[in-house]
């Protein structure tokens, strides 16, 4: 069972996001032992692939949507509603029939 995690990443470094996502996945894995995480963290090297002049945020969103398409379940974490990218991922997941779960975790996890 493939899991996509949508969570705020704005103004966070790659390592911080990776640590937070791993903690969230640890929580999910305790509930769903068969879960496999879709790694949606694109490090800075991937920016070089983007067409010059592109809005990098839109480029990242497009890549995230490609990965979301592989998910069996999409988890939306904490304040996802306050972030444009997460909100768009939710809208797309809903429109394309993805099973979505919202979770609110304490500071231990994120």
CATH number at residue 51: 3.40.50
The pLDDT, as a whole number, for residue 49 is 63
Q: In Å, what is the CA distance from 46 to each residue of 8, 40, 49, 85?
A: 19, 12, 6, 18
Give the total number of structural domains in the chain. Answer: 1
Highest mean pLDDT out of 4-8, 38-42, 92-96:
92-96
Question: What proportion of the chain, given as a percentage, has pLDDT over 90?
Answer: 60
pLDDT, mean over the chain: 87
Higher pLDDT, 34 or 45: 34
In a domain, 37, yes or no: yes
In a domain, 16, yes or no: yes
In a domain, 108, yes or no: no
In a domain, 109, yes or no: no
In a domain, 62, yes or no: yes
In a domain, 21, yes or no: yes
Closest CA to 11 of 50, 63, 57, 47: 57
44-89 per-position pLDDT tens digit: 555 666 666 667 778 888 999 999 999 999 999 998 999 999 999 9
| Structural domain span for residue 37 | 2-103
């Amino acid at each position: 069972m493939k899991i996509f995690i949508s969570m705020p990443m704005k103004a966070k470094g790659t390592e911080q996001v990776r640590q937070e996502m791993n903690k969230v996945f640890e929580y999910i894995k305790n509930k769903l032992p068969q879960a496999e995480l879709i790694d949606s963290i694109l490090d800075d090297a991937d920016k070089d692939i983007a067409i010059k002049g592109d809005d990098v945020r839109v480029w990242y969103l497009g890549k995230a949507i490609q990965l979301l398409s592989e998910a069996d379940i999409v988890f939306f974490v904490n304040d996802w509603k306050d972030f444009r990218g997460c909100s768009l991922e939710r809208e797309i997941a809903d429109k394309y029939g993805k099973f979505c779960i919202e979770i609110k975790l304490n500071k231990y996890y994120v």
